[in-house]
């Protein structure tokens, strides 16, 4: 189904929202990267190695969790950048699968969404079956 593009006014509104989220996410990534680097440098010193196995396990878990969170934020930043690209192409707010509008409540919650709820749910069901 072919739909009409969103108005320039609506696109500008979402561009502003996305740019704020992009800045916030980039600042978070920079802070997390800096903290992770400092922790690695600190733990690289043999005087800071945990002596007890449980402490070593906690340290490893904490580093792995930090890396996972950093990866999630990087994925989010990529999604935001792609959404900004769709705004500039005037295809923002249109589902990448079915071509229908992405519902306004969904865009308010997840402004970088590229699929409508219906298509996203189908995709998640497919991936859960694998």
Residue extents of the structural domains in the chain: 8-93
Angstrom distance (rounded) from CA 36 to CA 45: 15
Structure tokens at 90: 């005037």
Angstrom distance (rounded) from CA 112 to CA 108: 9
Under DSSP, the state recorded for 6 is P
Block residue for tokens 């500008």: 12
Contact 17, 104 (CB under 8 A): no
pTM of the predicted structure, to 2 decimals: 0.78
Question: Is the pLDDT confidence value at 53 over 80?
Answer: no
Q: What are 105-130's pLDDT values in tens digits? A: 999 999 999 999 999 999 999 888 86
| Averaged confidence pLDDT in the chain | 86
Give the pLDDT of residue 45. 47
């Amino acid at each position: 189904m072919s739909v009409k593009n969103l108005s320039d006014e609506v696109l500008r509104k979402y561009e502003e929202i996305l740019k704020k989220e992009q800045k916030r996410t980039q600042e978070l990534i920079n802070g997390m990267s800096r903290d992770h680097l400092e922790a690695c440098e600190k733990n690289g010193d043999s005087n800071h190695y945990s002596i007890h196995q449980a402490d070593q396990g906690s340290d490893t878990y904490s580093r792995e969790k930090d890396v996972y969170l950093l990866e999630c934020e990087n994925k989010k930043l990529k999604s935001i950048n792609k959404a900004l690209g769709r705004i500039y192409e005037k295809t923002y707010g249109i589902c990448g699968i079915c071509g229908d509008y992405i519902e306004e409540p969904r865009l308010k919650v997840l402004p970088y969404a590229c699929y409508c709820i219906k298509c996203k749910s189908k995709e998640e069901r497919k991936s859960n079956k694998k």
